[in-house]
Amino acid sequence: MTAPLLSAVGVTKRYAGIVALQNVSLEVGPAEFAAVIGPNGAGKSTLFDCLTGVQRPDRGHVHFDGRPVDGLRPAARARAGMARTFQRIELFGGMSVLDHLLVADRARTRRGGLLTDVFTGSRPSSDELDRCSAVLELLGLQEWAERPAESLTLGRGRLVELARALMCEPKLLFLDEPSSGLDRHETDEMGDALLRVQSERGLAILLIEHDVPLVQRLAERMYVLDYGELIAAGPTDEVLADQKVRVAYLGAST
């Protein structure tokens, strides 16, 4: 078996008496599509915080791409190949879709002063524009490139967040409920986009998602969190057939 790209062992996180995560271990392989599901408050976003360095776990270790990343801040983990989107949409007012991508690209290449750079009109190079165009095209966003990001529908806004994360050229993409607030059609489009991203960019994806049909369509492997503990892990179809999971998450009575 090839070495996992991400491996977390025994991650525990408490907030003032609340045990948000209890001894959680998980692995994501290179180019694998994995998902984390669980009820509200189960600890899913906290798990992402611990994996990406936003929070420091009380116990446990995280390895990424062959090395420990426990001491690294989020920006250093991003440079190592972790990119993330947040549960709440996080786009900047007054910036076009293309500007969002340019800022992310410059953060990666560490060229110039980022936001000030974009606002003071330092002209993007043709290399920068090429990288942005490739991502816009991959996600079907070309015709919106010059629009202010906040003028787009929520579905497209979420695609812009995905586009921005891709500008970091990640090895592993962490997506926190990318279908949240989307209707069925937008959710299906998000699913199509994620499959395209995974196949064309060859990256791994770890998806937090409450939409079970979407998880079933996308993820090869899944993890189920309940009250901060992993109650199931394995191939998606096996996990969804598990009685414990059906009771805890899907509300099955028998």
Q: Enumerate binding residues for Mg ion (CB under 5 A).
A: 44-45, 87
Radius of gyration of the chain (CA): 18
Give me the least distance between CB of 27 and ligand ADP, in Å please.
20
Give me the least distance between CB of 14 and ligand ADP, in Å please.
9
Q: Which residue is nearest to Mg ion (CB)?
A: 45
Give me the least distance between CB of 18 and ligand ADP, in Å please.
5
Contacts to ligand ADP by CB under 6 A = 15, 18, 20, 38, 40-46
Instruction: CB nearer to Mg ion: give 52 or 96.
Output: 52
Rounded to whole angstroms, the Cα distance separating 10 from 177 reads 24
Find tokens 């015709």 and name the residue.
143
Instruction: CB nearer to Mg ion: give 45 or 187.
Output: 45
Of 105, 242, 97, nearest to 165 by C-alpha is 105
Instruction: CB nearer to ligand ADP: give 10 or 113.
Output: 10
SS3 19: strand
Give me the least distance between CB of 41 and ligand ADP, in Å please.
4
Give me the least distance between CB of 87 and Mg ion, in Å please.
5
Q: Which residues 6+ apart lie within 8 Å of 221 measured at CB?
A: 28, 32, 33, 34, 35, 233, 234, 235, 236
42 binds, among ligand ADP, Mg ion, none (CB under 5 to 8 A by kind): ligand ADP
41 binds, among ligand ADP, Mg ion, none (CB under 5 to 8 A by kind): ligand ADP
- Sign for the pseudo-dihedral over CA of 116, 117, 120, 124: negative
15 binds, among ligand ADP, Mg ion, none (CB under 5 to 8 A by kind): ligand ADP
**192 burial class (0-12, 13-18, 19+ CB within 10 angstroms)?**
middle
* 48 and 176 Cβ atoms separated by less than 8 Å: yes
Instruction: CB nearer to Mg ion: give 12 or 87.
Output: 87
43 binds, among ligand ADP, Mg ion, none (CB under 5 to 8 A by kind): ligand ADP
